[in-house]
Structure 1
Amino acid sequence: MLQLRGITKRFGPTQALRGVDLDLVPGQALALIGENGAGKSTLVKTLTGVHAPDAGEILLDGRPVRFARTQDAQALGIAAVHQETVVFDALSAAENIFIARPPTKRVVGISIVDWPRMEREAQQWLDVVGAQFPARTPTGELGIAQRHQIEIARALSMRARVVILDEPTAALSQAEIHEVYALVRRLKSQGVAVMFITHKFDELFAVCDRYVVLRDGASVGSGDMATAQESDLVRLMVGRAVDDIYPPRRRTPGDVALRVTGLSHPTEFADLSFEVRRGEVLGFYGLVGAGRSEAMLALIGLKPEATAKVEIEGRPVDLHDPAQAIAAGLAYVPEDRRQQGALLDLPVGANLTLPALAGPRHARHGKLSRGPWLSAVRESGFAQGLIDRLRIKTASQDVPVASLSGGNQQKVVIAKWLGLQPRVVILDEPTKGIDIAAKQAVYELIEEMVQQGLAVILVSSELPEAMHLADRVIVMRRGRQVAEFAHGAPAEAIVAAASGVEVATP
């Protein structure tokens, strides 16, 4: 149905795409695989009319097509659904499906919205994608997976023949991920050509028929998923074999850095007690909704209703004062780096130095000012030190964080807190949405932190990650601390504790 032949795109000195070839076939899902920065986003924007290719051609049903704007791609049946859903919470599902193009009727010579028809037709499209909610439901009441259903229903209502799913499961629970699987299979059964983009290999093998691998803007491999091997795909992605992405463990835990007693919240979690030592990684594992991230937000002082006794290196910390927690040496890297972790439009340098501008309480970190004025020379030197230390790939300190790859954005978020020389670092889903090579870099950074004597709390939904990196794993379920496992515990026992299932363990 849709063919790309020799697609090339350059942005100034950066060659984003280098002669990319791929085919999209009705009733099949194509996996687009590649590291952050491989050219996937540029390719999607080229397919949807955001960018025009510098060279090459796009063929639809064998005929060359060009998109001067996104509406041209939509008119020819090409639609994209991104990780960050584009819906209006205050509107109903039906209104979101027919946004900017509601069905109308004439009444006394005046054109007005035909509300019954809009809800009726919207419900038909929601039924097509398997939605289990009525068309008049306010979108603000729906979860992320259901919002994806609205976006796909919108695309199908516009007669989309090609649907691009860009990281559709990044923020979903396991049950919601299986809903996305069912949706992809339903689209294929209706003859839609699907492009599926994700960093999770199990998802590719679950729903995709073929694959294309991008590396440095070029298509370097393609084939059938049925005969593909994960190790071969990784080798194509990074240009080398990645036998073990986890660094060797060389740890000698020291004194207790953080002790928490009776951490509770009226509605989200209760009676959490734990400690983490210098040079140790304490993992928190649980299913979505277990209360892990909420508990970490409470530790940094962002849950006013929470109560607990918290001590950092034996000194009490007020649970309701984020500034005091930071000054005492606690750093928090949030799960959502784009919304909570970085100011994407600000330069890399400004993001890195921002926490160090808090005033006298951070005097131990080195002043960035001369008298009452910020020193550009000192600020630049401070930022460059962090860029070099974490090996952040950026053209300069002056480029916006938004222009970096996902893995390097995550490094910026971590680096700005390391600049404060913390004693305890909380990493909440630090590898969410980044590729395998970027994950490896984050894992090496975690190992460097513990080697330097930092205490690390790792919140992760990826069990292999928690099992390999953590010295101990605390399992949470429904806001409660239900079990603790030492490094090397069987995966079955950890999953069983998280899900409330009893299994026989050795």
Structure 2
Amino acid sequence: MDTATPLLRVEGVTKRYGANTVLNDVSFDIGHSEVVGLLGDNGAGKSTLVKIMSGVVQMSSGSYTWEGQHHDTVNRALTEQLGVETIFQDSALVPQMSITRNLFMGREITNRLGLMKMKQMDAITSEILDTVVTIEGIKSSKQLVASLSGGQAQAVAIARAVHFKRSLLILDEPTSALAVRATEALLNYLRQLKSEGVSSVLVTHNLHHAYQVCDRHIVMNHGRKILDVRREDTSVEELTAAVVEGAVGVERFRTGAF
């Protein structure tokens, strides 16, 4: 693996819905083993950008390059193959199914007759829950997801992504519904994944959370990227200025007028 080549590079990404341009000429890289904060107020373009990176929405123009290889068509089948996993606020889990069934959904271990090997999947799930992530309060891999807290459910979604060797995790507002303890656990998961070579994009309104864990911060405003800066070169105050006032806020902060 050439770590000098970005894991993901998007260039000139524009998205239009009729006459409405929701993303305008957005370019950035995601490095290997890097945690990137994607920040901005409502309507900044973050959600559309996440959907494009995930292959759920097609860009109107622009390029998508994964580990140096350009891809003309970017859809969910491709991003699944590349190893992109998006974890939304609701964790995309099925509440009335067990943790095991959710973890192996679409990737079930079966015998020659096509029957699921539940005992083997339960054993693997128990091991994953004990080693990949530390989740308090889960008594069994057979427990229904409906019985889990928001933090526990998100930890299961992260465990699923890690077990199936995802290369890039995109977490869309993961801490908005979590208690303080669960939030700290989630941020620790991102640090742990970074040490294991997994890159993450953290989409959040909470700038303090982003600043704690992200190596770099990208701030969006009205569909444009207005700031792309490493943590050591910025502050929560500058990020706040960028989110609140856009490029004008960054300029005002740097000249001492914010």
Would you say 1:111 and 2:117 are equivalent positions? no
SS state at 2:114 partner: strand
Measure, in 2, the Cα distance between the counterparts of 1:158 and 1:39: 29
Shift in CA distance, 124/66, structure 1 to aligned 2, threshold 3 Å: farther
- Contact kept? 2:220, 2:226, Cα under 8 Å: yes
Shift in CA distance, 113/173, structure 1 to aligned 2, threshold 3 Å: same
Would you say 1:139 and 2:145 are equivalent positions? yes
Name the structure 2 match of 1:102: 108
SS state at 1:105 partner: coil
Residue of 130, 133, 136 corresponding to 1:129: 133
Measure, in 2, the Cα distance between the counterparts of 1:123 and 1:73: 28
Measure, in 2, the Cα distance between the counterparts of 1:105 and 1:55: 45
Measure, in 2, the Cα distance between the counterparts of 1:225 and 1:28: 12
Residue of 195, 204, 207 corresponding to 1:198: 204
Name the structure 1 match of 2:59: 53
Q: Report the CA distance between 1:57 and its aligned residue.
A: 0.8
Would you say 1:120 and 2:123 are equivalent positions? yes
Q: Report the CA distance between 1:72 and its aligned residue.
A: 2.1
- Structure index of larger Rg: 1
User: After TM superposition, which residue ranges in structure 1, 4 or more long, deviate above 6 angstroms?
Assistant: none
SS state at 1:111 partner: coil
Would you say 1:208 and 2:236 are equivalent positions? no
Q: Report the CA distance between 1:189 and its aligned residue.
A: 1.1
Name the structure 1 match of 2:71: 65
* Cα distance per residue 1:231-279 (max 9 Å; x no partner): 322332223449xxxxxxxxxxxxxxxxxxxxxxxxxxxxxxxxxxxxx
Q: Give 1:360-371 correspondences, 5 Å limit.
A: none
Measure, in 2, the Cα distance between the counterparts of 1:151 and 1:66: 29
- Contact kept? 1:9, 1:18, Cα under 8 Å: yes
SS state at 2:239 partner: helix
Q: Percent identity?
A: 29
* Cα distance per residue 1:269-305 (max 9 Å; x no partner): xxxxxxxxxxxxxxxxxxxxxxxxxxxxxxxxxxxxx
- Contact kept? 1:92, 1:137, Cα under 8 Å: yes
Q: TM-score, normalised by structure 2?
A: 0.87
Measure, in 1, the Cα distance between the counterparts of 2:78 and 2:237: 39
For structure 2, which runs of at least 5 residues remain unmatched after alignment?
A: 1-6, 251-258
Q: Report the CA distance between 1:168 and its aligned residue.
A: 0.5
SS state at 1:104 partner: coil
Q: Give 1:265-276 correspondences, 5 Å limit.
A: none
Name the structure 2 match of 1:20: 26
Q: Report the CA distance between 1:68 and its aligned residue.
A: 4.8
- Contact kept? 1:184, 1:194, Cα under 8 Å: yes
Q: Which has the higher contact order (CA 8 A, sep 6+)?
A: 2
Would you say 1:80 and 2:86 are equivalent positions? yes
- Contact kept? 2:87, 2:169, Cα under 8 Å: yes
Q: Report the CA distance between 1:212 and its aligned residue.
A: 0.9
For structure 1, which runs of at least 5 residues remain unmatched after alignment?
A: 243-506
Q: Which amino acid aligns with 2:61?
A: A
Q: Which amino acid aligns with 1:189?
A: S
SS state at 2:201 partner: strand
Q: Which amino acid aligns with 2:102?
A: N
Residue of 218, 222, 235 corresponding to 2:224: 218
Would you say 1:6 and 2:12 are equivalent positions? yes
Q: CA RMSD in A?
A: 1.7
Equivalenced residues, count = 239
* Cα distance per residue 1:174-220 (max 9 Å; x no partner): 11111111111111111101000111111011111101111111111
Measure, in 1, the Cα distance between the counterparts of 2:21 and 2:128: 40
Measure, in 1, the Cα distance between the counterparts of 2:72 and 2:125: 30
